[in-house]
Structure 1
Amino acid sequence: MKIELKYGEGIQIAEIPDKHLKGVLLPEEEQGRRTEEEEIADALEYPIGTERLRDLVQPGHRAVIITSDITRPFPSATVLPFVLRELEAGGIPRENATVVFALGSHRTHTKEEMARLLGKKLWGQVSCRDSDPLDCVRLGTTARGTPVDVTRAVAEADIKICLGNIEYHYFAGYSGGAKAVMPGVSSWEAIQNNHKLMASDQAAAGRLEDNPVREDIEEAGRICGIDFILNAVLDRNKKIAKAFAGDAVKAHRAGCRYADRVYRRRVDGKADIVVVSPGGFPKDVNLYQTQKALDNAAHAVKRGGIIILAGECREGVGSPVLQKWLTEAETPRKVLERIAAEFELGGHKAAAIAGVQEKASVYLISELPASVSQAMFFIPARTVQEALEEALDIMGKDASVLVIPSGGAVFPYTTENG
């Protein structure tokens, strides 16, 4: 069977003999669904757990709309005009609204990237800026000691609206909801304190209840004062499949339930070899983002098996700390020992990667130099096909191969991992 995997803005192709193919894990997408515009309009008209946005605001209010940065596939340019029209219907003109791109710990945008995210129709009409972790206002502290330091433009706004997509997150349970605030527009200290909580066994993909990271995120959101969210679950083509608007927790939970229906996919036993792609750009813009697909794939591979990860990484590793932690270690086990002794942003990603490398060999098809990949305990390969042929030689004539084309979103589960 010929398989196409998105790689950056291109594709990688692999031929998998039928006798080896265990399956291709795809999202369960609905037939005959509404257009993106219909989904957005309906979500705004019938919000969950709160009044309509236009009824929450008052003339003279200053509104801030927090939306995703360039590393996320959320279609801000499609959604923002609807949100702005809703604000206008409540008496807030566009000059009283500011769009803030939630960087978290990511790099700043170029002007061209901001224009792409905002869209041609809005560029020049609406004020926009990146969040600034060095210019924050402390609004309080969570019960777990996380300072709620929020970028000034958000802290000083009267109305705070959060946008984003919902998919599985390897320690926050799911993306979306109050995650736009924590870590989206928070200080380095706040992000570090929140992310330390990932050491808990309850901090896992698909888990909301008793997840200390998610609970801390949502407490920070309450302290900040999120008035309204609009979240979306995207299909494998990065189009809106379903939109959810309203209360920061209730609307988010409804979106998570829908994400489970679409992206939580059962596997009948684990595979010897898992071939996975994050789903192309921007999900594979760097190794920092590509890691999420690796983490999902790890749930479907046998211990001692092989994962073949195809992520372009056009911007390299994406974190000097991530690269440093992996390259300085003698083995993946040493990375895990280090994270248990000390926590550092970027190091947490290194530990997540190392945890998978302890379980399985990982081939990496990327634009990273082979020497860099090897130094981080990956096996570099030029193509998925090359890696697959080597993997089949290693695993034997009866090896099973599972393919996950949208590995940044699809969460495989077996009786072994729930």
Structure 2
Amino acid sequence: MDLSLPYGSEHVSVRVRKHYHILGRTSRASSHNAQDQIVRDAMEHPLQAPRLADAVRAGDRVAIVVSDYTRPTGADVYAPMILSQLMEAGVAAENIVIVIALGLHRPASDQEIASILGPQIPEQVRVENHNPDQGLVDLGGVQMNRAVAEASLVVLTGAVTFHPMAGYSGGYKSLVPGVASRQDILHNHLLYFQGDHANPRVGPAIVERNPVLEDIRRRGQALGRTVCLNVVMDEQHRVAFAAYGSVDSAWYACASFLRHSSIIDIPKRLPVVFASAGGFPCDFSFYQSMKTLTNSALACEPGGTLIVLSECRNGWELRDELIGMFSLPLKEIARQVKSDFRMDALAVYMAARVIKSRCVFLFSSLPADQVRRAGMEPVNSPTELERIIDMLPTCEIAVFPEATSFLPAWPGFS
């Protein structure tokens, strides 16, 4: 039977001659009007906060924080609605700034900003890329973007997804790492480690006693005057659920929706998992594909086989010298990462945890020799992909078409 899986901006078709079952569900995409209504309903029924129009007055300066180009968040749906409500309440367009929450990612291009926000943003509204090294204000325990720190009201936005460190994205994560200083971001991400190992309380869907999440919330709460609009996206990258209100309330509502709708119960971990990142922008680069590796590995037994589709049109997004780190033992990688902590080195460690415990085949646009140096087997065509699947000794495989959207869980998983 032919399978068609997302890859970049297109799909890859593969004929699978083994029995397979799908991890995840295919939902019916909602119309754009339905997305508008979902967001509008959320904003009309705020959770532990006033309606947006009642939270501002003429003369206020408002900062809207939106996610960057590396993930689908529906900002093109809700950003115009937020702006409309603010201006109807008397806030001048010139007093509104939209801050792209880059963390440590590169600045968004004009084309990427247009893709994020859509065509309906008034020219008078300023759009700013966050810079983690300049234009910061010390709030006592954390430094944040000046436009955000000095605003009368800050509207946090973004999609809530399973996150390999913070448990869930969204909420205060728009502030830390989104618009925080480089030092604050690196300190937070270093909490991934407990000695020379990954902290067992750090991982997707883990909230209780998660040190990364606790640090994000502590630093984020240094900024008052905040409200939050969070959403959950469906597999077609459309808004499926939204919540508006206080930061914790909106985030918790979306995280609860995601947990109940997108955690897949499986009886046990499986010997072969065939996973797609879900296409662009989730497979924008190898770095951005980390959630694909970590989520699909949860479904694959140690020593099993992972086949991953991730286009990586923007390359590795790792420093060239880091590819050689994959050949080191995990403890040595951890030691080197911690001695000179940078985000791309942490990504190497996270990927190596999966690659060293499973046989990983990678279908991507990355150079084959570099994929091999990273400890994976490169796959160059759908035909080769079919041949590899045919040669696997198992007669059954699990297919994970949207590995960043769903989280597998087996008995005892926490």
The number of equivalent residue pairs is 406
SS at match of 1:346: helix
Indicate yes or no: 2:5 matched with 1:9.
no
Indicate yes or no: 2:162 matched with 1:162.
no
Contact kept, 8 Å, 2:3 with 2:16, in 1: the verdict is yes
Q: Within 1, Cα distance between the matches of 2:383 and 2:58?
A: 59
Indicate yes or no: 2:414 matched with 1:415.
no
Q: Where do residues 174-213 of structure 1 align in structure 2 (5 Å cutoff)?
A: 174-199=168-193, 200-213=199-212
Q: Where do residues 374-389 of structure 1 align in structure 2 (5 Å cutoff)?
A: 374-384=372-382, 386-389=384-387
Contact kept, 8 Å, 2:44 with 2:51, in 1: the verdict is yes
Aligned partner of 1:153 in structure 2 is 147
Aligned-pair CA distance for 1:309: 0.8
Aligned partner of 1:325 in structure 2 is 322
CA distances 1:338-358 after superposition (whole Å, capped 9, x unpaired)? 346663321111111000012
Q: Within 2, Cα distance between the matches of 1:138 and 1:346?
A: 26
Closer, same or farther in 2 for the Cα pair 1:353/1:384, shift >3 Å?
farther
CA distances 1:31-84 after superposition (whole Å, capped 9, x unpaired)? 989810001101111011111111111221100000011111012121111111
- TM-score, normalization: structure 2? 0.93
Aligned partner of 1:145 in structure 2 is none
Q: Where do residues 163-312 of structure 1 align in structure 2 (5 Å cutoff)?
A: 163-199=157-193, 200-225=199-224, 227-312=226-311
Q: Within 2, Cα distance between the matches of 1:31 and 1:134?
A: 40
Aligned-pair CA distance for 1:391: 4.8
Closer, same or farther in 2 for the Cα pair 1:13/1:332, shift >3 Å?
farther
Q: Within 2, Cα distance between the matches of 1:3 and 1:49?
A: 45
Contact kept, 8 Å, 2:269 with 2:410, in 1: the verdict is yes
Aligned-pair CA distance for 1:224: 1.8
Q: Which amino acid aligns with 2:245?
A: G
Indicate yes or no: 2:346 matched with 1:352.
no
Gap regions ≥5 residues in structure 1: 142-147
CA distances 1:194-214 after superposition (whole Å, capped 9, x unpaired)? 001112221111011211111
SS at match of 1:326: helix
Aligned partner of 1:373 in structure 2 is 371
SS at match of 2:288: helix
- Single out whichever of 252-261 and 399-408 deviates more from structure 2: 399-408
Contact kept, 8 Å, 2:282 with 2:404, in 1: the verdict is yes
Aligned partner of 2:196 in structure 1 is none
CA distances 1:233-285 after superposition (whole Å, capped 9, x unpaired)? 00000000011111111110110010012211111222211111111001111
SS at match of 2:343: coil
Contact kept, 8 Å, 2:9 with 2:279, in 1: the verdict is yes
Q: Which amino acid aligns with 2:411?
A: T
Contact kept, 8 Å, 2:29 with 2:236, in 1: the verdict is no
Contact kept, 8 Å, 1:332 with 1:354, in 2: the verdict is no
- What is the aligned-residue RMSD (CA, Å)? 2.0
- Single out whichever of 116-125 and 233-242 deviates more from structure 2: 116-125
SS at match of 1:236: coil
Closer, same or farther in 2 for the Cα pair 1:226/1:292, shift >3 Å?
farther
Contact kept, 8 Å, 1:60 with 1:91, in 2: the verdict is yes
Q: Within 2, Cα distance between the matches of 1:58 and 1:338?
A: 51
Gap regions ≥5 residues in structure 2: 194-198
SS at match of 2:222: helix
Contact kept, 8 Å, 1:271 with 1:400, in 2: the verdict is no
Contact kept, 8 Å, 2:170 with 2:251, in 1: the verdict is yes
Closer, same or farther in 2 for the Cα pair 1:345/1:8, shift >3 Å?
same
Q: Among all aligned residue pairs of Structure 1 and Structure 2, give the percentage whose two residues are the same amino acid.
A: 30
- TM-score, normalization: structure 1? 0.92
Aligned partner of 1:37 in structure 2 is 36
Q: Within 1, Cα distance between the matches of 2:100 and 2:224?
A: 18
Contact kept, 8 Å, 1:177 with 1:249, in 2: the verdict is yes
Q: Within 1, Cα distance between the matches of 2:69 and 2:228?
A: 19
Q: Within 2, Cα distance between the matches of 1:42 and 1:293?
A: 32
